[in-house]
Structure 1
Amino acid sequence: MLGFVCFLGPGIFIALTGLGGGGQVNSKVQANASAMLYATFAFFGLFSGSINNVIGPRWSLILGTLGYSLYISAFLVINIRPDAGAFVLAAGAILGICAALLWTAQGSLMMAYPTEAQKGMFISIFWTIFNLGGIMGSAVAFGTSFKSTVIGNSTYIGFLILTLVGVFLPLLMANPNKVIRTDGTRVNQVRHPSWKTELSRLYVALKTDPWIILLFPMFFASNYCYTWEYNNYNGAIFTIRARALNSLMSYTSQVFGAVFLGYFILDQKRVRRRVRAFYGWSLVFFMAFAAHLWAYFYQKTYTRAEATKDAYKIDIIDKTYVAHVWVMLIHGFLDSMLQTYAYWLIGAMSNDPAKLAVFTGFCTSILIKHHTDKSLQSAGAASAWSTDAAGILYMNIFLSTWFLMVASMIFAAPMVYLRVTDRTDVEEETL
């Protein structure tokens, strides 16, 4: 159920983002709206864990999904009235607040429901369903734009209807205190203390688990990468229908990346958890370096000045298309691996949903696709979209993305070595 809520909200949102410029020929308004979105996301993510513990995960999910409906409607409006850029910016800022609530509720539930042996599987199941939203949305956009050079109103209307359905799905979900795990244990009930206690809980969470700071660069980098991938690569050198197909291929590869790392590597019962943690780190580090090394040779072939002029755009019937789409496939695979590994590391630090809600909310406000990483992800994404809106060179944005991705894994290595154990006892670390 949680996966389908995000399938119909953030899943449709990522399909729109994956088109490059939100499907618009001029991507500047979308870049500015995204910068606003992630800036408010970064700030309110600091408090979203506390809010989630007070109003409960179902209301956090409902309010969160409403923001995605508003954002989609803004692109429908600007498609009809090109002078409605201010509405898109306002919708982006409001979505940042709503998204902080939704992803904090999602992160705490996804990491608290499974047993320790199931966390990788639960994460991969969620990411598979979530990315199906991007796949379906991209398929719809590809079909409707196959014989067109622009995204029509019908595509945005279809996206809007789907997100509105997602608003009501949380009403069908059970409260965490009614859930019993497969091993017979109950999910710890999230307590609802005063706001003062909630603010102190944020401090205590960081004080009791300072190792989380070493994951901040990973959280920051995980959403920073989308700007180059979707606007500066997909949105810059491809036709509209090629963008839609590229987006479809990217989100499909994310499904395989999440299942591969989460189920086949991180949940291998025959291997100790500490060993699995190092396996996961090695795979993500290798993919981060290799994927960007490959993409570098394509980025060298064009500049922002060339892409914004009437330069030829690569279409799906061109001979060079297949080679270029592989960049989208590999980076999609890497993105889901990084997100899955980040979630899994946070889950390995705690089994207490109240503590996890604080972790996920805090990182949501400091940060980018995907939790403790959401603050940092949002800060990273806001930085990247701001540079794109300011017209920074494509190569500079690409190199900064490459550097952040590789450096973030190096920073995370000591935390993996010193903090990840073979088992976490909730009695020893409950706030």
Structure 2
Amino acid sequence: MGFEGDEESAANQVSTKSRFRYNSPLVQITLIGLVCFCCPGMFNALSGMGGGGQVNPTAANNANTALYTTFAIFGVLGGGIYNILGPRLTLAAGCSTYVLYAGSFLYYNHKQHQSFAIVAGAILGIGAGFLWAGEGAIMTSYPPPHRKGTYISLFWSIFNMGGVIGGLIPFILNYNRSEAASVNDGTYIGFMCFMTAGTLLSLAILPPSKVVRDDGTRCTNIKYSKVSTEAVEIGKLFFNWKMLLIAPAAWASNFFYSYQFNNVNGALFNLRTRGLNNVFYWGAQMVGSVGIGYILDFSFQSRRKRGFVGIGIVAALGTAIWAGGLAKQVGYKHNDLPPKLDFKDSGSDFAGPFVLYFSYGLLDAMFQSMVYWVIGALADDSEILSRYVGFYKGVQSAGAAVAWQVDAHKVPLLSQLIVNWSLTTVSYPLLAILVMLAVKDDQKGEEPSINPASMDNNSKPV
């Protein structure tokens, strides 16, 4: 039967006394943060180098296009797959593909053949769909309803510490190679070691039916789903007005990465400085997620009002940061790049572009944490939220696939910036409408739809 008996429920009531127990949301969110620290955190550091650490970004652009194309499909499907397989199998399968991707660039360092990187990117897109759908379901459904912003910021801080450490790896290993064109083998090997550790750590994540909040409630009562149920529910998402309002924010939320990584960090700075910049870019994400998480959880008693304030703050900050980016962008083009800046040798010329890149990282975390908070405010049940997050990641990845090809085709940099700024700006009023219409101040989200199969006594739980 899909629901736990009275004896087990009573036993779990006793186990809720410690916040640091293994089956608590705090510990499980920390664990998923560490998994993402090791896998997508290191991937972000690799991507943030510009061109995957290579002098010519073509291979990385094509690999990322393949990645986000498959990610767009499996991001949408990922929520259903998570509901069927449970977190351990879903996350471990997803994490293993990150190791292959980093290895493909190690191979590229020697052979300069991009085919392996493109295939590895496509496989990683499948795995990333699994990982991020599972991560999103855990991050939005495991916390108590009134502390979702805090737990999202906790996850985002741990996850982005991976980008900080990942930025230090190429910075340290290539410190004495200020004129180098691409990173050394040790950089990719270091990334692969972390990604392997993350794959193993993912096996420690508990399924939602075994996670008990401090008040004794569970993250879901349903222990498993089936393919037909998930196919129907995923199909409904494309006609769900809430998801349609989220879609522009989802499309925008990774669209700017190709511009920021290749055409700001990659275009303006030399190799070792790009590694240093990434330390601060992902460090800024930690600051941004904590700041917006506090506002979304503690600024006002009304949850709806907190949503409006959070969206307003991100909108104002985003406008200022993209305006600063515009001021810098008018000074260079694809075929007219300035001399590469070095953190030691460029003096005051380094400061402005560095602060801009830092600010882009700050905005990214605040924007995505805000969207995750809105999604988390729409429901409390893991089964529903896994599908919502899967839809978000699928649309997000479709946007990213387009963005990497936009850069690969050398679309003017000013045009790229204007599109990025416009996409994020359009998202704010739509998210505000969603908060106004769908977010409740009583902190009760949608009730889970009972899967009839979950009532089958002969069924085997995940």
Same fold by TM (over 0.5)?
A: yes
CA pair 58-234 structure 1, distance change in 2 beyond 3 A:
same
Once the two structures are superposed, what CA deviation does each residue of 1:92-150 show, in whole Å capped at 9, x if it has no partner? 00000000000000000111111111111110000000000000010111111111123
> Pick from 140, 146, 149: which aligns with 1:117?
146
Match of 2:435 in 1: 416
2:52 maps to 1:52: no
Asked if structure 2 preserves the Cα contact closer than 8 Å seen for 1:218 and 1:405, the reply is yes
Whole-Å Cα distance in 1 between the matches of residues 186 and 100 of structure 2? 16
Match of 1:155 in 2: 187
> Pick from 183, 206, 209: which aligns with 1:174?
206
Match of 1:304 in 2: 334
Alignment-mate amino acid for residue 48 of structure 1: G
> Pick from 219, 240, 246: which aligns with 1:215?
246
Asked if structure 2 preserves the Cα contact closer than 8 Å seen for 1:352 and 1:430, the reply is no
| Alignment map for 1:15-414 (pairs within 5 Å) | 15-82=45-112, 84-148=113-177, 149=180, 150-205=182-237, 209-262=240-293, 264-268=294-298, 270-307=300-337, 312-317=339-344, 318-319=346-347, 320-362=349-391, 373-414=392-433
Whole-Å Cα distance in 1 between the matches of residues 169 and 424 of structure 2? 31
Once the two structures are superposed, what CA deviation does each residue of 1:296-324 show, in whole Å capped at 9, x if it has no partner? 111111100123xxx52111121200111
Match of 1:369 in 2: none
Whole-Å Cα distance in 2 between the matches of residues 2 and 65 of structure 1? 11
Once the two structures are superposed, what CA deviation does each residue of 1:173-225 show, in whole Å capped at 9, x if it has no partner? 22222211012212214443331111112244565x52221111001101001
Whole-Å Cα distance in 2 between the matches of residues 49 and 302 of structure 1? 42
TM-score by length of 1: 0.93
User: For structure 2, which runs of at least 5 residues remain unmatched after alignment?
Assistant: 1-30, 451-462
Match of 2:34 in 1: 4
Asked if structure 2 preserves the Cα contact closer than 8 Å seen for 1:41 and 1:99, the reply is yes
Whole-Å Cα distance in 2 between the matches of residues 244 and 49 of structure 1? 34
Alignment-mate amino acid for residue 427 of structure 2: S
Q: CA RMSD in A?
A: 1.4
Asked if structure 1 preserves the Cα contact closer than 8 Å seen for 2:39 and 2:98, the reply is yes
Alignment-mate amino acid for residue 243 of structure 2: I
Whole-Å Cα distance in 1 between the matches of residues 266 and 298 of structure 2? 39
Whole-Å Cα distance in 2 between the matches of residues 260 and 414 of structure 1? 23
3-state SS, counterpart of residue 266 of structure 1: helix
Whole-Å Cα distance in 1 between the matches of residues 209 and 421 of structure 2? 42
Asked if structure 1 preserves the Cα contact closer than 8 Å seen for 2:76 and 2:393, the reply is no
Alignment-mate amino acid for residue 441 of structure 2: D
Which segment is superposed worse, 404-413 or 339-348? 404-413
Whole-Å Cα distance in 2 between the matches of residues 36 and 189 of structure 1? 37
Asked if structure 1 preserves the Cα contact closer than 8 Å seen for 2:259 and 2:416, the reply is yes
3-state SS, counterpart of residue 256 of structure 2: helix
User: For structure 1, which runs of at least 5 residues remain unmatched after alignment?
Assistant: 363-372
Asked if structure 1 preserves the Cα contact closer than 8 Å seen for 2:377 and 2:445, the reply is no
Per the TM alignment, residue 49 of structure 1 is displaced from its structure 2 partner at its CA by 1.1
Per the TM alignment, residue 423 of structure 1 is displaced from its structure 2 partner at its CA by 2.6
3-state SS, counterpart of residue 271 of structure 1: coil
**Higher Rg:** 2
Once the two structures are superposed, what CA deviation does each residue of 1:316-337 show, in whole Å capped at 9, x if it has no partner? 1212001110011111110000
TM-score by length of 2: 0.87
Alignment-mate amino acid for residue 335 of structure 1: D
Alignment-mate amino acid for residue 209 of structure 2: N
Alignment-mate amino acid for residue 258 of structure 2: T
Alignment-mate amino acid for residue 313 of structure 1: K
Per the TM alignment, residue 43 of structure 1 is displaced from its structure 2 partner at its CA by 1.4
Whole-Å Cα distance in 2 between the matches of residues 247 and 293 of structure 1? 21
Whole-Å Cα distance in 2 between the matches of residues 392 and 380 of structure 1? 16
Match of 1:366 in 2: none
Asked if structure 2 preserves the Cα contact closer than 8 Å seen for 1:212 and 1:415, the reply is no
Alignment-mate amino acid for residue 334 of structure 2: R
Whole-Å Cα distance in 1 between the matches of residues 270 and 446 of structure 2? 56
Once the two structures are superposed, what CA deviation does each residue of 1:21-40 show, in whole Å capped at 9, x if it has no partner? 11100011101111111011
3-state SS, counterpart of residue 390 of structure 2: helix
Matched residue count: 415
Whole-Å Cα distance in 2 between the matches of residues 288 and 380 of structure 1? 19
Match of 1:365 in 2: none
3-state SS, counterpart of residue 94 of structure 2: helix
CA pair 398-193 structure 1, distance change in 2 beyond 3 A:
same
Whole-Å Cα distance in 2 between the matches of residues 425 and 298 of structure 1? 45
CA pair 74-333 structure 1, distance change in 2 beyond 3 A:
same
CA pair 269-410 structure 1, distance change in 2 beyond 3 A:
closer
Identical aligned residues as a percent? 37
